[in-house]
Amino acid sequence: MVPLQVVIAVLQTPMALPSADTLMHAWRTFQATGVCDEAVIPPPVLRSWQRCVAAKLDPYGACRAIGLPRQFGSSLSDALLAQLRPHMEDLHQFMEGAGFAVLLVDAELTLVELLGDMPIVRMLAELGLSPGASCSESAIGTMAINLALHEALPCQTRGAEHFCVCYHELSCSAAPLFDVSGQAIGVLAVIGHRDAAHTHTLGMVIAAAQALHAQVRNNLLLAETNDHLLELNAAIEAMSEGLIFLDASERISRINSRAAQMLGVVPRSVAGRTLGELIEVPAGLRPALEQRRPINDQEMVFVGRKSSIAVLCSARPLWDRGRRFIGTMVTLRPPESVQRLVQQVVGAQARFRFADIIGESQVMQIAIHHARMAANSHSPVLIEGQHGVGKELFAHAIHNASARANGPFVVLNCAAVPRTLLMGELLGYEGDQHEQSEGRPGKLELAQGGTLLIEEIGALTMEAQTSLLRVMETQNLLRLGSKRVVPMDARIIATSSRNLQREVAMGRFRPELFDRLSEMLITIPPLRDREDDVLLLVDHMLTNLSMRLGKQVLFAPAALAALRAYSWPGNVRELETTLERLLHVTEKSVLTLSDLPPEITQAVPPETLHPPKLPRLYDQQAAAERDAILQAGREAAGHLGLTAERLGISRVTLWRKMKLYGLTKEQLWHAPPP
């Protein structure tokens, strides 16, 4: 783009120009000697003459049409030509009748467009200057058209300043054209008789070029702005949140499809209308709009023409760079999306499955069977059992095996919440928009589409029991302090360590709620009734603890017998705590009876630990292992590595087994044959 300073400098050039005779004398001197008066011939013109001589261009040669075929191509795009033509037409209209022609040349110096009075157009055609002709220096010699592109500056040539004699009757004013990146795209020129040459002619060409540059730049900026607007519109429409833009007068300037769907309106029909014309503006949003202050995720109810909807509303005032208020951006989010986010953040997911339940005793298999039946049902579930038997584990497994496995799994422990707060935790409470206090969803709302586990449901107050029964019967809930009905879709699983039938008989639990909950009743037996499962649980827990603590620990047969015979009043939780405490404090690899807590060893009868006659299965297995180690050691000649390989165990395991059974390396070497 030509700088404005160049335009001013050209227009301020003195009006006195060398006469035609002076120019002709300088031209002849150059042709004869190769030098001339540089005060007469501008340096750019002189350098062009020198290039023409070096190219052996004949200054006296006859001018003829030298150009491309009729259907020539141009480096100028159709879109750019469409922008250039109006400027050429304006320039021609301004000079019409004065004997001038307006030319457009592309970056390869090919003549693309020609407008002008017919006499000058015919004259240029006779001189070989018609659309498709080459205006390069090698083709027509020195002329402002090619000189402007070469020098990247506006130029004017007249009379004998042209290298070729055939153009001495002409004057040419030209200005280069550039794109927004500064790349030359062509030349805009005006040609007329040499006597009509004037610096003002060049000024008009420069002004037209400047106007063209401005238009090209503005068109590019407009195209970029349109592209950004399309991207912004696509992003706004793709948002899962509702978005409303209000101008300074609270009129809707833009609303996305999600917001229109939430409010029950058509996007095209609401533009230019105030928000109050469409809905009843919530009391919590009105002060924010009037006072131009932001609010973040306040729960509000928008009452439309057909229905009302509860949303989390945010408002952000918008200001321009001059701190002038231009409007407000209102964001609407359905509570369900926030609930899903909360569930992900707090980890409201069930972790355990039926495969995680350890137990092969008959009473345990019956409980698992009932739990699997409950998983295939949609009815509420009541799980009864003493503390520590694994009621929550069953609840997790039922949820993960049910049709709601992909939904949230929310837990409310009634025994851990103060009685005065239980109602709010269960139902939630509505915010006061006048006092600008935020509401809060209860556990029932957070469990939408999933399962709510109510632990120790016997600790619920009678008032909370009544509210829960009402929700289960109507599948609707009302928050505390609210009149808005929230549809419910959550399955209830309740657990209790109390005997709820006794609680009903004593008037501390509503019989109607017990009847609804006990549609699917699961009773988990205490660990003392599952003696066969104790050793399975010990093995499972030892495996997990060994991986976590980095220890390999076994129990001696007498210790295992004591663990199996103990009544475990704290059930599975007590067993797990005991094992973890033992592994933390011991440095042994085999724990014996003396390592167990006194309450276990003292509570077990001696005859249980030392059977009188009949060997137990564990003792028989230990004896078989001892004999197998001795036989493998004899076959491997006492080599521990080969012995472990024959037994299919590692050397570490072999050492541990030898220590357990009191075997030495010498015994392996001298082991007697079986």
CATH number of 239-333: 3.40.30.10, 3.30.450.20, 3.30.360.10, 3.55.30.10? Answer: 3.30.450.20
pLDDT at 513 over 90: yes
* Identity at 345, one-letter amino acid code: V
Residue 276 confidence (pLDDT): 83
Which of 238, 224, 121, 240 lies closest to 170, judged by CA?
A: 121
Mapping DSSP onto H, E and C, the string for 42-66 reads: CHHHHHHHHHHHHCCCCCCCCCCCC
Reply yes or no on whether the pLDDT at 495 is more than 90. Answer: yes
Residues 356 and 572: beta-carbon distance below 8 Å? no
Tell me if domain 4-219 and domain 531-660 are identical in fold: no
β-partners of residue 176 are 187
Q: What is the mean pLDDT of residues 517-543?
A: 89
Percent of the chain at pLDDT exceeding 90: 34
**What confidence tens digit (pLDDT) does each residue in 577-610 have?**
999 999 888 888 888 888 899 888 887 766 655 5
E-strand spans in 482-618? 485-487, 491-496, 520-523, 554-555, 590-591
Q: Are 350 and 409 in contact (CB under 8 A)?
A: yes
515-529: per-residue pLDDT in tens?
A: 999 889 999 999 998
For the ranges 53-57, 219-223, 556-560, 610-614, the lowest mean pLDDT is seen at: 610-614
Evaluate if residue 1 carries a pLDDT over 50.
Answer: no
First to last CA, the chain: 105
Q: How much is the pLDDT for 54?
A: 92
pLDDT averaged over every residue in the chain: 84
Tokens 């009473």 identify what position?
Answer: 363
DSSP symbol at 524: P
Q: What is the pLDDT of residue 148?
A: 93
CB atoms near residue 334 (< 10 Å): 17
The per-residue pLDDT for 14 is 44
- Express each pLDDT in 51-64 by its tens digit: 999 999 999 886 65
pLDDT the model gives residue 671? 52
Q: In sequence order, which residues have a C-beta less than 8 Å from that of residue 130 and are 6 or more positions away?
A: 65, 67, 111, 114, 124
Residue 446 near residue 348, CB atoms below 8 Å? yes
Where exactly are the structural domains of the chain? 4-219, 239-333, 353-525, 531-660
Its CATH class, for the domain covering 4-219, is alpha beta
Supply the pTM of this predicted model.
0.54
**Helix, coil or strand: residue 19:** coil
Largest CA distance in the chain: 144
Query: pLDDT > 70: what percent of the chain?
Result: 88
Give me the sheet containing 170-178, strands edge to edge. Answer: 111-116, 101-106, 184-193, 170-178, 155-158
Find out whether 136 and 178 touch, Cβ atoms under 8 Å: no
**Distance (Å, whole) CA 580 – CA 566:** 17
For residue range 427-472, what is the model confidence (pLDDT) as tens digits? 887 766 555 556 678 888 888 889 999 999 999 999 999 999 999 9
The helix, strand and coil proportions of the chain, stated in percent and rounded to the nearest 5, come to: 50, 20, 35
More confident residue, 142 or 265: 142
**Residue 558: pLDDT band with limits 50, 70, 90:** confident
DSSP code at position 501: H
Q: Whose structure tokens read 């259907």? A: 71
Predicted confidence (pLDDT) at residue 8 exceeds the cutoff of 90: no
Q: Using the predicted structure, report yes or no on whether residue 395 has a pLDDT greater than 60.
A: yes
In contact, 537 and 572? CB cutoff 8 Å: yes
70 contact partners, CB below 8 Å, separation of at least 6: 132
Q: Region 390-405: what's the mean pLDDT?
A: 93
Point out the least confidently predicted range of 57-66, 267-276, 357-366. 57-66
Residue 440 burial (C-beta neighbours within 10 Å; 0-12, 13-18, 19+): middle
**Structure confidence at residue 299 (pLDDT):** 76
Asked if 253 and 271 count as a contact pair (C-beta separation under 8 A), the reply is: yes
Say which CATH class 531-660 falls into. mainly alpha
Domain 353-525: CATH architecture, name and number where available:
3-Layer(aba) Sandwich (3.40)
Residue 126 CB-half CA count within 13 A: 8
Q: Give the pLDDT score at 510.
A: 93
Q: At what angle do helices 571-585 and 531-549 cross, to 10 degrees?
A: 40
If you average pLDDT over each of 135-144, 234-243, 302-311, 483-492, which comes out highest?
A: 135-144
3-state secondary structure 591-619: ECHHHCCHHHHCCCCHHHHCCCCCCCHHH
The stretch 104-118 carries a mean pLDDT of 91
pLDDT at 672 over 60: no
Position 385 pLDDT exceeds 90: yes
Confidence bin at 347 (pLDDT 50/70/90): very low
What is the pLDDT, as a whole number, of residue 65?
45
Per-residue 3-state assignment (H helix, E strand, C coil) for 615-665: CCHHHHHHHHHHHHHHHHHHHCCCCHHHHHHHHCCCHHHHHHHHHHCCCCH
Task: Tell me the pLDDT band of 336, cut-offs 50, 70 and 90.
Answer: low
DSSP state of 460: S
Closest CA to 626 of 646, 654, 645: 654
Rounded to an integer, the average pLDDT of 374-388 is 93
